Chains A and B, each alone.
Chain A
Amino acid sequence: MVTFWFIAITVLWTGFMLLEGFDFGVGALHGIVGRDEVGQREVMHTIAPVWDGNEVWLVVAIAGMFAAFPGWYATGISALYPLVVLLLIALILRGVGIEFRNRRDSARWRRGWSTALILSSLLAPLLVGIMLADFAHGLPIDANQEFVGNFGDLLPGYSVVTGIAFVAITLLHGAVFLSLKVHGEPHERAMLATRVLAPVAVALVFAMVIWTHVVIGHGALLNLIELIALVAALGALFLVLRGAWGWAFVATATTIASMVVTILGDLYPNVIISTLNPANNLTVHNTSSGPYSLKVMTIVVAIFLPVVLAYQAWTYYVLRRRLTQA
C-alpha cells in the first residue's frame, strides 16, 4: 500500500511537470516568441485556458504527500522553507500574470506583467527541480526527522544542476508546444527557439540523469528509466532538427516525465536522505499514514483520477485547434 502511494505521488509530480512544464516554457518564451503585442497575446492564448487545471496537479501532489506521507510533507516542506516561499512567490506572480496581463489597455501594465511572467516561469521549474533533487541528494536530518541545517544545505551542486536542467527542458518543451500551436512569425521564432534550446537542454538532461545515478542510483549501470530519459532527450533533439513537432513534443514530454521518475524512482524506498546518518533517512515506511487512511485514499484516487484524466484530456481535445491569425 505504501508503495502504491509512493507511485501515486510520483505520478502526480510527473503529471505536474509534464503539463505545467510547457506552461512554464511558454510563459518564459512569450516575450521572445511573441515579440509584438499581437504575437504575445497569441502565444499566451495557447496556455490561458489550461494552465490553472495543470497547476492543480501540484496541489494534489502536495496534498497527497500530506495525506499519505505526513512525515515526508512535514519534514520536507519545513526544511525547504526558503525555497518554498520563493516557489510560492513565483507561482503567485505567474498565475495572476497570466490572468491579469491583458486586462488593462496599457503598455506599461503589460510590460510589467510580462516581466513578472518571464522571471517566475523560469524560477518555478528551477525551484521544483532543486527541491526534488534535495530529497535525493540528502539534507541534514536528525533522529527526530527534523532538519538541522541552514540555507546552504539546500543548494548542493547536484540540486542546482538538476534545477537548471528542469528549466532548460521546460523551455524546450514550451517551444515545441508553441511550434505546434501558433502560426506565422511567432511560429518561425518558436521553431528557431527549439533549435537553439534543444542541444543545451539535452546536454543538461544528460548531466542531470548521470549525476542522479551517481548520487542515489544502484549499481554501475544505468537503469531503464534513466536510459529512457537519455534516449527521449536525444530523440527530442533529432525530431526538433527534423521539424517533426508532434513527435518532438512526445519526446520532450517523455524526457520530463522520466527525469522526475528517475529522481523519485532511484530514491525509493527512501523519501528524503539524511546526510547525517543513513539510519535517519525518511522512508515510505517511517513517514506514512496508517493502512486505513491509505485504503480510503486509494479508493478516492481510483475513482477520481481516471475521471480527471478523462475530462482534462477532453479539454485539450476541444482546444486542439491551432491558433490562426485571420
Chain B
Amino acid sequence: MDNVDLARFQFGMTTIYHFLFVPLTIGLGFLTAVLQTSWHRKGRPEDLRLTKFFGTLLVINVAVGVVTGLVQEFQFGMNWSAYSRFVGDVFGAPLAMEGLAAFFLESVFLGLWLFGWNRLSPRLHLATIWAVAAGGVLSAAFIMAANSWMQRPVGYTINAQGRAQMTSIWAVMTNTVFLWAYVHVILASLITASAVMLGVSVWHLRKRNSPEVFNRSARLALIVLIPSTLVNLLVGSELGVVEGTYQPMKIAAAEAQWNTCQPCSFSLFQIGGGTRDETPTKVIQIPHLLSLLATNSWNGKVLGLNQVNAQYQQQYGPGDYVPNVFIQYWSMRVMAYGGALVLLIALIGGLLYWRGSLGRTRWFLHLAVWMAPLPFIMNIAGWMLTENGRQPWIVQGLQKTGDGVSASVGAATIVTSIIIFGVLYGALAIVDTVLMTHYARKQLVREDERPEESPGELEFISY
C-alpha cells in the first residue's frame, strides 16, 4: 500500500463511520420533532413519553456524530492538502456555510431542547426541536453540494495558478447531481431512523412493554418508512441515470459492462467479475432492464468500460480509468436488493398494523428487529458506489486521487493515525452500542412516577 491507498483507507474508514451516525440523527431529529408536535397538538401523554424516549437515543448518537464530524473537518488538510489547495475556493465554501447556517443551529438548539423543558414555553420548546431537525437537514444540503461538485464540477474556472476558482455559487448549489443525491440522502436518513424506530418499537411490543405507547411509534415508523423506501428506490435509480451522464464509468462498472451494449440486460448476480475479469458468469439476466435503469429508455445504449477507457485515454492521456468493478457491482446490488427487502418488510408491517394484528404476529416482531441494521449497510454501500465509482479521479476529470495527497506526510504518520483512530472508533462503537441497547430496552417511565434524580433541576436527561 502506498501513501495514496493509506490516505484513502483512512478517509474511507473515518467517513463511513461518521456516516453511520449522520443519517440516523438527521432522521431521528425529524421523527422526534413529529412526536413532540403530536404531543403538543393532542396532549396525549404517550407521545411525550415517546418524545423523551427517542430523544435520548437521538442525543447519544448526536454525540458520536458530532465528534467524528470534527475529524472530517480536518481530514482534507491532513492527508489531502494538494486537493485542498486545488479546490478550497469552491469546495470550502459549502463546508463553511454548513457550519454557519446549519451546524450552529443544530448544536445550539439541541442543548436548549435538552435543558429547556422547564424553562421555555411549550411552543418555544417545540420550536427548538424543529430547529435541530432543520439544522440536520440543512447541513446535509451543504455537504452534498460539496460532494456533488467532486462528481460533476460546475460553476468554476481554472485560474492562472492552475487552481479551481468558483464563478457561480448558484451553479454549485443547483448541480443536478447534487439535487438528486440530496433527496436520496435525506430519504435514506428517514429510512434509517424509521427502521430503527420500528425495530425498537416491535422489540418492546414483543416484550409487552407499554404496548399502547410503542404501537404508536411503530405506526409513525411505518408511515414514514413505506413511502420513503418506495420513493427512494426510484430516486436512487434516477440518480444513477444522472450520474451515468457525467460519470459513465460509474454505471458501466456497476453492471460490470465491459463492452458497449444496446439494449442492455441487467444481471441479478454474477460469479467471478474481479477487477480485471471481463467475462464473469452472469446469472439470471433481465433483458432491457439496464437500459431502462441507466438511460430511462427501453433500448438505451450503455457505454462499456473498455470504450469509456479508450475515450478517456484520448482525452486525459494514457492510464487506467476503470474503477474497482467488483465494489461497484456489489455495492449497487446491496443497496437495491436491501431497499427492496426493507420495502417488502415495511409493507407487511403496514398490512399487519392495518389489520390490527401487529402486536400479535410474533415472527414479524422478530423480523423487524433484525431489519434495523439493513439501512446502515445500504448507506455504506451507497457511498462505496458513488465514491469508488469516481476513481481514479478525486474531482471528476480535473484532479486524480493520486495527485491530491499531502506531499509532506509520510506513510508512517498515516499508518499511526489509522491505528489511533481505528482503536478509538472501535471503542466508541462498543460504548455507543452498549448505551443504545441499554436505553432502547429501557422501560418507559410514567411522567408522574419519574424520580427526581438531578440536583435541583428536573432534567429528563442527566449529566
Interface check A73, CB cutoff 8 A: yes
Shortest C-beta distance, B311 to chain A (Å), equals: 31
**Given A49, A73, A98, A321, which contacts B92 in the complex, CB threshold below 8 Å?**
A73
Would you give the 0/1 interface string for A53-86, flagging 1 where the beta carbon is closer than 8 Å to chain B? 1011011101110111111011111110110110
B455 pairs with A88, CB closer than 8 A: no
B111 touches A70 (CB 8 A): no
Q: Nearest CB to that of B414 among chain A residues?
A: A81
Check if B351 is an interface residue, CB within 8 A of chain A. Answer: no
Q: Is A266 interfacial (CB 8 A cutoff)? A: no
A66/B424 contact (C-beta < 8 A), A75-B81, A102-B462, A305-B100 known: no
Counting CB contacts under 8 A, is B406 at the interface?
yes
Most buried by A among B88, B116, B119: B88
| Max chain B Cβ within 10 angstroms of own Cβ: one of A42, A70, A91, A95 | A70
Q: Are B110 and A52 in contact (CB under 8 A)?
A: yes
Task: State in angstroms the CA–CA spacing of A88 and B89 once bound together.
Answer: 25
Query: Within 8 Å of chain B (Cβ to Cβ): is A315?
Result: yes
- For A320, the closest partner residue in chain B by CB is B119
Does B284 have its Cβ within 8 Å of any Cβ on chain A? no
- The reply to whether B409 and A60 form a contact with Cβ atoms under 8 Å apart is no
Measured between alpha carbons, how far is A93 from B107 in the docked complex, in Å? 18
Given the complex, which residues of B lie within 8 Å of A69, measured CB to CB?
A: 88
Question: In the complex where A45-B463, A84-B78, A319-B115 touch, is A292 in contact with B457 (Cβ < 8 A)?
Answer: no
State which of B56-64, B273-281, B331-339 sits at the interface with chain A.
Answer: B56-64
CB distance from A66 to the nearest CB of B (A): 4
Please choose the segment from B159-167, B188-196, B197-205, B227-235 that sits at the chain A interface, where 4 or more of its residues have CB less than 8 A away. Answer: B159-167
What is the bound-complex CA distance between A81 and B74, given in angstroms?
A: 10
CA distance A98 to B165 in the complex (A): 41
Binds B, one of A213-221, A240-248, A294-302: A294-302
Q: Once bound together, how far apart are the Cα atoms of A167 and B1, in whole Å?
A: 40
Task: Name the one of B84, B90, B99, B116 contacting A60, with C-beta atoms under 8 angstroms.
Answer: B99
List A contacts of B91 (CB < 8 A): 66
Asked if B315 is an interface residue, CB under 8 A from chain A, the answer is no
Name the one of B163, B166, B428 contacting A296, with C-beta atoms under 8 angstroms: B166
B451: Cβ under 8 A from any A Cβ? no
B126 within 8 A of A: no
A242 CB → nearest B CB, Å:
28
Q: Which of A41, A44, A62, A312 neighbours the largest number of chain B CB atoms within 10 Å of its CB?
A: A62
Give Cα distance in the complex from A42 to B459, angstroms. Answer: 12
In the assembly, what is the distance between CA of A45 and CA of B73, in Å?
28
Report chain A residues within 8 Å CB of B406.
74, 78, 81
**Distance, CA A134 to CA B148, complexed state (A):** 35
Closest Cβ–Cβ distance, residue A132 to chain B (whole Å):
15
- Is the CB–CB distance between B408 and A53 below 8 Å? no
Cross-chain contact B67 with A92 (CB below 8 angstroms) = yes
Q: How far is the CA of A304 from the CA of B431 in the complex (A)?
A: 36
**Contact with B93, one of A84, A297, A305 (Cβ below 8 angstroms):** A297
Are A318 and B116 interface neighbours, CB within 8 A?
A: yes
Complex CA–CA separation, A59 to B438 (angstroms): 31
Q: Which residues of chain B are near A44, meaning CB under 8 Å?
A: 463
Q: Does B283 contact A (CB under 8 A)?
A: no
User: Is A108 on the interface with B (CB-CB < 8 A)?
Assistant: no
Q: A311 in the interface, Cβ–Cβ < 8 Å?
A: yes
Question: What is the distance, in angstroms, from B21's C-beta to the closest C-beta of chain A?
Answer: 11
In the complex, what residues of B have CB within 8 A of residue A81's CB?
A: 78, 406, 409, 413, 417
**Interchain CB contact under 8 A, B100 and A60:** yes
Q: Which residues of B contact A321 (CB under 8 A)?
A: 119
A265 to chain B, nearest CB (A): 22
With contact pairs A45-B457, A88-B71 given, residues A66 and B76 touching in the complex (Cβ less than 8 Å): yes
Residue of A nearest to B88 (CB): A70
Nearest residue (CB) in B for A147 is B408
A78, B167: Cβ atoms under 8 Å? no
Inter-chain contacts of A292 with B (CB < 8 A):
165-167
Which residues from 81 to 124 on chain A have a C-beta closer than 8 Å to any C-beta of chain B? 81-82, 84-85, 88-89, 91-93, 95-96, 98-104
A66-B96, A75-B81 known; A290-B89 Cβ under 8 A: yes
Task: Please tell me if B43 contacts chain A, counting CB pairs below 8 Å.
Answer: no
Max chain B C-beta neighbours (<10 A), residue from A48, A85, A103: A103
Could you tell me if A74 and B462 are in contact, using CB atoms closer than 8 angstroms? no
Given contacts A292-B165, A318-B119, contact A95 B89 (CB under 8 A): no
Q: State the Cβ distance, A233 to closest chain B Cβ, in Å.
A: 30
CB atoms of A67 and B96 under 8 A apart: yes
B443: interface (CB < 8 Å): no
- Greatest chain A CB density within 10 A among B64, B73, B96, B112 is at B96
Bound complex: CA of A99 vs CA of B436, how far in Å? Answer: 13
CB distance from A124 to the nearest CB of B (A): 11
Flag if B60 contacts A99 (CB, 8 Å): yes
* Closest B residue, CB atoms, query A312: B108
B95-110 interface (Cβ within 8 A of A):
95-101, 103-105, 107-110
Asked if A326 is at the interface of the complex by the 8 Å CB criterion, the answer is yes
| B305 → A minimal CB distance (Å) | 33
Q: Closest Cβ of chain A: how far from B66's Cβ, in Å?
A: 6
User: Is A104 a contact partner of B93 (Cβ separation < 8 A)?
Assistant: no
Give bound CA distance, A232 to B100, whole Å. 30
- CB-based contact B77/A99 at 8 Å: no
In the bound complex, residues from chain B placing their C-beta under 8 Å from that of A75 are: 81, 85
In the complex, A277 has a CB within 8 A of chain B = no
Q: Would you give the shortest CB distance from B83 to chain A, in whole angstroms?
A: 8
Mask for B154-180, Cβ within 8 A of A = 1, else 0?
A: 000001000101110100000000000
Give the residue of B89, B104, B114, B463 whose beta carbon is less than 8 angstroms from that of A289. B89
Q: Is the CB of A59 within 8 A of B455?
A: no
For the complex, give the distance between the alpha carbons of A104 and B85 in Å: 45
B68 adjacent to chain A (CB < 8 Å): yes
Q: Does B70 contact A (CB under 8 A)?
A: yes
When A70-B85, A325-B455 are in contact, do A63 and B74 touch as well, CB less than 8 Å? no
State the CA gap A18–B463 with chains docked (Å): 23
Query: Within the complex, what minimum Cβ distance (angstroms) separates B74 from chain A?
Result: 5
Interface bits A270-301 vs B (CB < 8 Å: 1, else 0): 00000000000000000001101100110011
Q: Give 6 closest A-B pairs by Cβ, nearest first.
A: A70-B88, A77-B77, A67-B92, A99-B63, A60-B99, A53-B108
What are 6 A-B residue pairs whose CB atoms fall within 8 Å in the complex? A55-B70, A59-B70, A147-B408, A289-B88, A311-B109, A319-B119
Known: A84-B77, A308-B100. 7 other contacts (CB 8 A): A45-B457, A52-B107, A53-B108, A73-B84, A74-B82, A289-B166, A293-B89
